Amino acid sequence: MSGSNAGVPVSKPAATPLRRGPFLIWRGHPSPTPWFGKYEASADHWYEIVDRESEERFQPLCHRCIIELFYRFQGFCDVRWTVLGDAPLTCDLCDRALTIS
């Protein structure tokens, strides 16, 4: 482990990402939370996130906004996802239409 952020070890940058559901996690890559790494989310899902401290809930969210909120809550949140269907949805934060690409 090389580097740290507030005493939390930061891993060496991974050559390949870990997959957790619709998320790709690049350990040790530059991000707002380097101890978690860089996150990417699949565009063919809609997401829900709940802040564990305030219990504030956001849904439905697009693949860009879920990552932004994940970083804002520094991973201290609960995340759920659902594969996009035929029903029209709009992102709760950016008003982007959620459609299957």
Beta bridge partners of 20: 23
Please check the confidence at residue 95 and state whether its pLDDT lies above 50: yes
Please check the confidence at residue 51 and state whether its pLDDT lies above 70: yes
Higher-confidence residue of 8 and 60: namely: 60
Phi-psi region of 4 (alpha: psi -120 to 50; beta: other; left: phi over 0): beta
65-80 per-position pLDDT tens digit: 999 998 888 878 999 9
Q: Which two tokens stand for residue 50?
A: 């709940």
Q: What local confidence, expressed as pLDDT, does residue 24 receive? A: 87
Question: Which three-class secondary structure state does DSSP give residue 63?
Answer: helix
At residue 55 the predicted structure's pLDDT band, cuts being 50, 70 and 90, is very high
For the whole model, what pTM was predicted? 0.77
Q: What local confidence, expressed as pLDDT, does residue 34 receive? A: 67
DSSP 24: E
Q: Are 24 and 17 in contact (CB under 8 A)?
A: yes
